[in-house]
A and B are shown apart, each in its own frame.
Chain A
């Protein structure tokens, strides 16, 4: 890209970036710069990931032996509940859209900021308020209902602070809605000249589909939690069967949000894959339109398959059959994506660096997670697998493994852009082996134990499951260690890393056509886009 700036209209002195344009804590906490907001989200989300992760290690440590010897049963119930609630509401939902999404969306569209910068800051502050309530729950006795808050557990549980946890999740929903709303408007109205719909990076398409789900699904969980709070305080009798309510209605409400929300988690991960795989194999993405359309298809079909969480909850056989069939349908757009990425790799010039390795790890993990989903979508096998560790392993493979490997791939890929520094790729590559082995060792044995009948959420288990549990616990320690190593070398790079060039990977999308880190207003001059985000030939021609 040739950048020309008229004298006196550029932003700031040479060498200034969004990181040092202003200083002081307040310049961060009350910034309306989408890049700073993205960085703040990243720091906060990763901090809560640490909390949720430590809770998970507590669970795994308890499960080293069949007897309940480390924690009491009551504490164990709180451990998995808080682990789930923190990981879902505070980590996975905002994990990619609010962090990388915030940072990248305006950059990839060639614009100055999101459509509503102040609303963006408000979303972050609402997120902090909701997080405060969950932390408050954690320190005032926890909560033992499971993250799903099923009635009547939640409406009758006297153990811990259920109302505070519900209030936290309720508030967090609005942060998610406002972020989604902001991003949809940004995609529609803020694109730079030349950034047509079919010239948007696939990450943007993924974030767009995600945002649609956030706006349409989240209000339903908000009203559900709102009603549940009143069920708890006043006994309104809508969900509690003892008062004449319908607990299955709660499950319908809950999964009407909570199934689509797994796509809020994983669609942005797909978006990251569509960027890292093409850039690091130096090849135009295969099936651009199909990948973009499949994001929208997943978002659409994702809304009508929630009933597969309730095959054994007493819904009718007809509903079960229809939900099963529709669930299989969602495998189609997902497979289109996976196949397109593999076709992109085919005869590409694959760079064996950290972003690529984590992307390949994602493909492996997501393929396993996705295919085991089909076992659970089948009515007959689901009756056997329901509420076993098979389900736990499945959703960790898709939600946690899928999202985390993509987030780590994305963090490596965009690290030079965000921080202006290069990380140590050699340590990254070696550590990837530890992460990949540790991850699979943690969760693969759970498929086996689950298929043999080990139930989820149990404090103690039968001795025949001990080997699988010990393998899993060993894996979780290795995986935890690998994540600390990533944290260490990334933090090290901020202080000691080599300064990053503006486009270290030779990418063609717009965010790489400005400085690393970008200036406060993203681009030094107005952007006019003349070729697509994966058109490497046109990009090279424009460079020379």
Chain B
């Protein structure tokens, strides 16, 4: 082993570079790679829910379709558009961050947060309706029209529905939190051509949340 003198320890790096990285290239590559691994982890987390969906639908194909009819396709479709649009504004925000246009980043983040809140508000109306008529998971289920079936299948469908959309909704809420964090950093004029990994990573996360909804919407609302 031979060692060179510690030239890197002279603290001649930009403020946004962490001390343990040799250069920004290493830092950005690490951050991006870490985020992708996190997304892989997210996919496997949701995979359990999709697998539960698949098994239960396989067991109860008939009542599954019947129960799915109770979901509001129009509201689901509007929410899909809202979420897709927010993904677009997020992508535009990443572009602005790469160019160092922090004011635009802030504007696009506000638009994305608006989309996220829009999604949650529509979801709130959907949920309130379900709660009102008793389309609820497990032992809380009280929708008499479907309850006559011999099996528990309608209850199970709404268990799966609330688990999947609930966990997804939780991700939307967390997304709002981290997008606010990006918004405040943009207002402090922090991002630039070398320092935009945080925006990009939050963007990747937001696209994943969007992508999962793209699967949830047809599986839950549009089944035939």
Decide: A236 and B6 in contact? CB cutoff 8 A.
no
**How far is B156's CA from A184's CA once the two chains are assembled, in angstroms?**
38
Decide: A525 and B1 in contact? CB cutoff 8 A.
no
Decide: A230 and B163 in contact? CB cutoff 8 A.
yes
Per-position contact with A for B32-52: 1 when CB-CB < 8 Å, else 0? 011001101110111111011
Decide: A249 and B138 in contact? CB cutoff 8 A.
no
Enumerate chain B residues within 8 angstroms of A542, measured Cβ to Cβ.
Answer: 1-2
**How far is B48's CA from A117's CA once the two chains are assembled, in angstroms?**
30
Enumerate chain B residues within 8 angstroms of A235, measured Cβ to Cβ.
Answer: 138-139
Known: A116-B34, A185-B34, A215-B37. A236 touches B3 (CB 8 A): no
Interface size on B, residues (CB 8 A): 47
Decide: A530 and B7 in contact? CB cutoff 8 A.
no
Q: Which residues 121-176 of B have a CB within 8 angstroms of A?
A: 137-140, 151-153, 155-156, 159-160, 163, 167
Decide: B49 and A223 in contact? CB cutoff 8 A.
yes
Enumerate chain A residues within 8 angstroms of B151, measured Cβ to Cβ.
Answer: 244
Which range holds the interface residue count of chain A? 35 or more
Known: A190-B30, A234-B139, A238-B56. A528 touches B1 (CB 8 A): yes
Enumerate chain B residues within 8 angstroms of A245, measured Cβ to Cβ.
Answer: 56, 156
Enumerate chain B residues within 8 angstroms of A527, measured Cβ to Cβ.
Answer: 1, 3
Decide: A510 and B1 in contact? CB cutoff 8 A.
yes
Decide: A230 and B159 in contact? CB cutoff 8 A.
yes
A81 at the interface (CB under 8 A from B): no
Decide: B40 and A111 in contact? CB cutoff 8 A.
no
Most buried by A among B1, B19, B56: B1
Q: Which residues 44-102 of B have a CB within 8 angstroms of A?
A: 44-49, 51-52, 55-56, 59-60
Q: Look across to chain B and name the residue whose beta carbon is closest to the beta carbon of A114.
A: B20
Q: How far is the CB of B196 from chain A (nearest CB, A)?
A: 18
Decide: B5 and A9 in contact? CB cutoff 8 A.
yes
Decide: A185 and B1 in contact? CB cutoff 8 A.
no
Enumerate chain A residues within 8 angstroms of B160, measured Cβ to Cβ.
Answer: 236, 238
Decide: B1 and A529 in contact? CB cutoff 8 A.
yes
Decide: B2 and A238 in contact? CB cutoff 8 A.
no
**How far is B33's CA from A271's CA once the two chains are assembled, in angstroms?**
24
Decide: A113 and B45 in contact? CB cutoff 8 A.
no
Decide: B30 and A219 in contact? CB cutoff 8 A.
no
User: Which A residues are closer than 8 A to B by beta carbons?
Assistant: 1-6, 9-11, 111-113, 115-117, 119, 177, 181-182, 184-185, 188-190, 215-220, 222-224, 226-227, 230-231, 234-238, 243-246, 249, 253, 510, 513, 523-531, 539, 542
Q: List 14 A-B contacts (CB under 8 A).
A: A5-B5, A184-B33, A189-B33, A215-B37, A222-B48, A226-B167, A230-B138, A230-B163, A243-B138, A244-B59, A524-B6, A528-B3, A529-B1, A530-B1
